[in-house]
Amino acid sequence: MIRDVTVTANSNNGTRQASTASALRTLVCSNEIAFLMEAHDALSASVAEAAGFRGLWASGLSISSCLGYRDANEASWTEIVDAVHRIVEATQIPVLVDGDSGFGNFNNARLFARKLHQRGAAGVCVEDKSFPKKNSFVADRHSLAEIGEFCGRLQAIRDHVPDPEFVVVARIEALIAGHGQDEALTRAHAYADAGADAILIHSRKPDAAEILAFSRAWRNRLPVVIVPTKYYNAPVAQYRAAQISTVIWANHNMRAAISAMRQVCDRIIRDESTAGIERDVATLEDLFDLLKYQELSAAEQKYLPQIASGAQ
């Protein structure tokens, strides 16, 4: 049964965790398609929330890139957890974390997931690759974990995060690694038996054909999550018809930031002035509004002693 959940600010962190985890579970399990937007820091998360997104994807690629690392497990899991904590603190919507392959075996995976939960994440997505993993769109050598071993990772996360609402998504890389639908489906059924709440099926093809084929064969045993980074031209109507649960726009805030910063830097170094770009960048007032400077001003009025006019 789908729960009716509203996420609200709450000073009690445990209550907030429960509400955001329930909200993410509702999004993923709903009959209505959901959209999660990538965030890599507090600012990008605030922008996505202000735009109206109801959930966030804390992207491993984007967080690693912003830290100066490649998406190949070069960033430590503690660095990822710290970045996620800043995203959670800046927003009131649920955060699903890109957990790579869990940063090792079952023990690493359960420690990582438990720390994410403690920092307020609503769920984690773990992919069935060996550690260290490499970004799915880089090169062709992608080593998959043995099915039973990966099921152990999922079970360990399920058993050691003390919140039944915390969402565990199993990400299948069989199509990325060059295996067929049979291997993808075999893994999906095993991961469902191991306690996954949803299945993310990933593809690097320029169209959605193999994703839609998987969805038909899967018959919605669990909700299906997709990441249309490469097959971006496929209309959302196809996903709705296939009863796709959740679409993740996985890296677009980070990529948009690169383009915008490059354009601004090029113009400033060329013009030796910022006069030509002021109309094209966010105002300081916009920044102050996003980060709630008005709350600080109101708090100063409440908590700081008022100085009388003319006082020495």
Active site residues: 71
DSSP tally for the chain: helices H, then strands E:
12, 8
Reported as half-sphere exposure (CB side, CA atoms, 13 A), residue 58 has a value of 33
- CA separation for the pair 110, 168 (Å, rounded): 11
Region label for 187, one of left (φ > 0), alpha (ψ between -120 and 50) or beta (otherwise): alpha
What is d(CA 253, CA 44) in angstroms, rounded to the nearest whole number?
7
SS (H, E, C) 13-75: HHHHHHHHHHHHHHHHHCCCCEEEEEECCHHHHHHHHHHCCCCEEECHHHHHHHCCCCCCCCC
The 3-state DSSP class for residue 243 equals: coil
